[in-house]
Each structure stands twice: as C-alpha cells, then as structure tokens.
Amino acid sequence: MMRAVYVKHYADPARALAAGTHLTWLIQLDSGVRLPDLHRVTANHLILEHLDGWPFQPADLEHAAALLGRLHGTAHTRELHAAHLGRDYTSSTGLTIRRFPAGREHVLSDADPDLVNLPAALYKDCNLRNVVMTAGGPALVDFDDLTLAPFGYDLAKLVVSTAMTHGRLPADQISAALHAYNVDVDDIGTRAAECTRLQLARYAEIHHRLTARYVGRNGYQHLWPTVRPWPAPSAEPRSR
C-alpha cells in the first residue's frame, strides 16, 4: 500500500529547490526531531510524507519549545558552532545559510549591535502553523525559510504567533516553555547558548515588527501590544 503523501506547490522553482535543500540538511543533522520524509523535489513541488496529526494549541507550547531546543542545540554542536551570525555560513553539505541580519536590517537597526556575536542557532519560521501535533509529539513542517539566528529567536516566533492567534499567554506558561527549551539545549552540551527571558522578550519585539502587517490574515487576530505577556519596552523601536 502506498503511504499517504503531502504535495506542496511552489510558483517559483527556486523556492521549491531551496525548501527541499533546507529539509534535507535538517534531516541530516539527525537531531531526533520529528520531520517529514522528503520523497521527491520537482520543478514546482515538494513530495513529502503526510503526517497524521492535529493543529498546535497553546497548551502544546512547552513540548514544542523542547523540540526547538533539541534542534537548535544539535545544529550548533554539529555545524553552527563554526558559524557567525553576521556572515553567511556554508554547511558541510554545501548549503548556504544566510546571515541573521539578511532581510532584517530595518528591524535590527535599534537592536544590540553585539547581537550578531552570540552563539549561532537557526530560524526556520517556527510559527504555530508550522508545528503539527502527532501521536508521538510535535513535528516541524514547512521549510521555506532557513537562516542563522541566535538561540531563542525561533522560540520567540512561536510565542508571538501563538499569542497573536489565540490571545495573551500566561507568563508562567512562557517561562515553562523557555525552561524546556534551555534544558534541551543544555542536554546537547551547549549550556553557554541558553536564551534568557530578557533576550526572548527582545526577540519577540523584532517578530512583532515583522508580523504586525499580517493581522487580520493567516489566523492572526490580535496585535502583539495587546497580548504582550510582559511590560512593554521602555521605548518602542523607531519604524521605517
């Protein structure tokens, strides 16, 4: 019997090829994180394993955070310890992973300039719609985006996208998720790369600026300033 597949369509063949290359690299990390098998890449499609599951909910945040910590810790230990956030990185398989500032310059202009000197993890756009809950736990899907990023940055995307979809999250729930993330990062042996609560909050503000335009679309119902689970920054970053 043929196993069920999921076919993702791309109008741009370059995007299809990039997404397939991203997924192949992530699978080769052998992190133990659940990812769909990639059956084939065509000019305009990815043919992927179909994952039986259900949509991510706020109650799943802690489990998904641990998953991200495992992926980020493994990626850093096996590859990205040699990367610098301010420069493109070429992996051992020849994949070029773009530097963290690429495409974000306008929202990073007010950020700590030393941010690019932090240990390198990755960003794969872990918004809540890119997490599928299966009988075996969370699985990550959608591999269109892959860049370098500091530890905790992709977790902040999950927090912001969940709150903008479902409403304000309890502060203790976010604390538990951050703890779970750091525990799994530590388990890989990358203790120096832990994300602090202050860093998570700062990354959330960056995501807010990048995601605000989607309110009213893609399931985003709430503006981040109305659901922010901690005090607002003393001064909002200037906009362009």
Chain segment 3-58, per-residue pLDDT in tens: 789 999 999 999 999 999 999 999 999 999 999 999 999 999 999 999 999 999 99
238 has pLDDT over 50: no
Contact between 96 and 126 (Cβ < 8 Å): no
What's this model's pTM, rounded to 2 decimal places? 0.94
Tokens found for residue 107: 């929202």
| Mean pLDDT to the nearest integer, 219-235 | 90
Domains along the chain with CATH numbers: 53-227 (3.90.1200)
Token pair 């479902």: residue = 166
113 has pLDDT over 90: no
100 has pLDDT over 90: yes
111 has pLDDT over 80: no
Cα–Cα distance, 18 to 36 (Å, whole number): 16
Confidence of residue 193 (pLDDT cuts 50, 70, 90): confident
Question: What proportion of the chain, given as a percentage, has pLDDT over 90?
Answer: 88
pLDDT at residue 2, rounded to an integer: 53
Residue-averaged pLDDT of the chain: 93
CA distances from 92 to 89, 123, 155 (A): 10, 18, 25
Amino acid at 109: S
234 has pLDDT over 90: no
pLDDT at residue 78, rounded to an integer: 95
237 has pLDDT over 50: no
236 has pLDDT over 70: no
pLDDT in tens, 62-88: 999 999 999 999 999 999 999 999 999
CB atoms within 10 A of CB 6: 13
| Mean pLDDT to the nearest integer, 105-117 | 87
90 has pLDDT over 80: yes
192 has pLDDT over 80: no
Cα–Cα distance, 54 to 203 (Å, whole number): 28
Q: List the beta bridge partners of residue 34.
A: 139
